[in-house]
Amino acid sequence: RRTAGMHTVSAREYGYDAYERLLHVENERGERYTFERDPNGEVIAERGFDGQERRYERDMDGTVLVTHLPDGTTIHHQHDLAGRLTYSRYPDGSWEAWEYDRAGRLCKASNPHGETLFERDALGRIIREIQNGHAIEHCYDSRSRLTHTLSDLGADVSYGYDDAGLPESVKAIVQGMPHPWEARLQHDRLGRETLRTMTGGVACAMQYDGVGRPSRPSVTRGGHSLYNRGYRWDDDFRLSHAHDAISGRIVRYFYDDFGSLAEAEYGDGARQWRNPDVMGNVYDSTDRTDRTYARGGQLREDRR
């Protein structure tokens, strides 16, 4: 990682064998994530930056049959003749199972708590989902756009599109509701959403600057402004200011040498830090003393 002035701040090292297969990744603190391979080049063990090891037992085709977890427990796997995962059994006795159709598409998923079935049309689109006896049906138009979703629990949702194929309306009818909920959407000539009006008189609007960045989102209801913010961006397309037009408060944002958000400064003088070290571990203080991380970036303590 280098700054704009090409000064090296941190670096990672990658190691390969004679066949250009990845053997290890070494991070900025000298910790290694290593891969152990069998004579066929298949990974049979991984050791993380934190020293935890996970091992794999494979058959002659390289398919994983057993996964040995760092705590000594195991997960057993089964596959079909095409190599697709069909069953996993976990240390606590729970399990998951999957079935596929002749085209290799998922048609059933199940575990001890229930099962989900998927029915598809000739184009492979899901037209019906059945979970524990309840069904959801989907309809599509000639351009494969979703137009209708119907649930036997009472949901009835329809979708409309404009001539350009952009979403134009969403209408939902739910049992027990006296009136349907509806949203209508408008877009500019570039396809960006500019206005969304919803049941209850709520309207969400969005304005953009000359290069397409959001500049002013707002929410109104019955002529009353509920949310109104203005955004200012710097030359690197990074958000520099957010102005709340209702309260008058301003939030300023600051970034590190790599363009990552590092600090937010609020109108009352309060500051919120996002101060990463060379490993990417995030702190909420300038001196990085508020949190403690272990190997591999594991958060051990937060003293805020």
Q: What is the model's pLDDT at position 260?
A: 82
pLDDT score, position 289: 84
The secondary structure of the chain in percent helix, strand, coil, rounded to multiples of 5, reads 0, 55, 45
pLDDT, one tens digit per residue, over 85-144 is 999 999 999 999 999 999 999 999 999 999 999 999 999 999 999 999 999 999 999 999
Query: Does residue 258 register a pLDDT over 80?
Result: no
Q: What secondary structure letter does DSSP report for 27?
A: -
Q: How far is CA 200 from the centre of its chain?
A: 31
Token duo for residue 298: 């594991």
Residue 254 has pLDDT above 80, yes or no: yes
Mean pLDDT for 70-84 is 96
Mean pLDDT is highest, among 28-32, 39-43, 173-177, for 39-43
Neighbours of 286 (CB within 10 A): 12
Q: Which amino acid is at 114?
A: G
**Arithmetic mean of pLDDT, 226-239:** 94
Residue 232 and residue 241 in contact, taking contact as beta carbons nearer than 8 Å? yes
> Tokens 């955004």 — which residue?
231
Burial class (CB in 10 A: 0-12, 13-18, 19+), 56: buried
Residue 39 in this model has a pLDDT that exceeds 90: yes
Q: Can you give the pLDDT at residue 6?
A: 53
- 296 pLDDT exceeds 60? yes
pLDDT at residue 8 greater than cutoff 70: no
Please give the average per-residue pLDDT across 281-298, as a whole number: 84
Give the per-residue pLDDT at 14.
96
pLDDT at 152: 92
Q: Which of 104, 93, 41, 28 is nearest to 296 (CA)?
A: 28
Residue appearing with tokens 């935890």: 52
Confidence of residue 166 (pLDDT cuts 50, 70, 90): very high
Environment class of 93 (CB within 10 Å of its CB; exposed 0-12, middle 13-18, buried 19+): exposed
Nearest to 169 by CA among 186, 192, 151, 189: 186
Among 262, 269, 251, 258, CA closest to 285 = 262
Average pLDDT over residues 228-242: 94
